[in-house]
Amino acid sequence: MRRLALLLLAAALLLALPKVVGTDVLPAQVTDLLGADEARRDRAVVVRVTDGDTLKVRLANGSEKDVRILGIDTPEVYPQLECGGQEATAAMAGLAPVGSKVVLVSDPTQGNRDRYGRLLRYVHRSGDDVGLAQLRSGRAQVFIFRDDPLQRAEDYRAAERRARKDDRGSWAACWR
């Protein structure tokens, strides 16, 4: 009984620690230990398309959050415009327009937030993975932080290879 109580106390402390230090990131080893191996899903509405891989959304509780789409990287539009940045942003605006309903899906192999405080999530609209769509169109490249493999890495890499082979999007104009 005492062992169970200590285990529960340790788990509670580990879960509370990110709130105390001002971040929601838990190491993968801790979430694995606690059995958090299933993706979290949250419904949201798109408030703004920031660029080709970042959105601002309103969650069901009314709070607004910046979301960095997991597994992709697109050319920047700010602070300096990069080749393909406007096209990637426009493509994202078509995939997840302002006012559209989306589902944010976490990846248990990844952190909850990036160093800028943005939520790290896959984004689905009408059942479609918008990050995968960006890769297929050649507007994004696969991005894996610190070599921590994403659950969707294989599918994402295959989509990127195909877009590159077919010279789609930025592969034709910017990345050759």
State the span(s) of the chain assigned CATH 2.40.50.90: 38-173
Q: How many CB atoms lie within 10 A of CB 113?
A: 19
pLDDT, averaged per 10 consecutive residues of the chain (176 residues), comes to: 50 49 40 57 98 98 98 96 97 99 97 96 98 98 90 97 98 91
Class of domain 38-173: mainly beta
Write down the H helix ranges in the chain.
2-21, 28-33, 85-95, 130-136, 153-165, 170-173
Q: Quote the pLDDT of residue 82.
A: 96
Distance, CA of 176 to CA of 166 (rounded, Å)? 12
CA nearest neighbour of 70 among 108, 122, 21 = 122
Q: Let me know: does 123 contact 69? Beta carbons within 8 Å.
A: yes
